[in-house]
Structure 1
């Protein structure tokens, strides 16, 4: 089962094809090539990458 790499929550909502939103820590997750890409949603609606906060191993789907 998919878990948020930031808070380990399973409380994720699907918002698009391979896109999820963590209702616990409020980040957006995108799955590409079995790797979870993490983004913070800014006030203006743009996305800022948070991938540099996690090792690739932490973002791999298990």
Structure 2
């Protein structure tokens, strides 16, 4: 005989879980993109934007 499981999940739980999963992947994509560009700039020698702006201001 199978006993009933006391594991009711209301409809709102599905949308909360879906939102959490989408948010996790969005945050992971943003973080990955941020570190990818930092690594790319470090490898190929691009200066940070603040340094570029300072250099442009000094040449005027």
- How would you bin the TM-score normalised by the shorter chain? under 0.3
Asked which structure has the greater CA Rg, the reply is 2
Name whichever structure is richer in helix by fraction: 2
TM-score by length of 2: 0.17
Greater relative contact order structure (CA < 8 Å, 6+ sep): 1
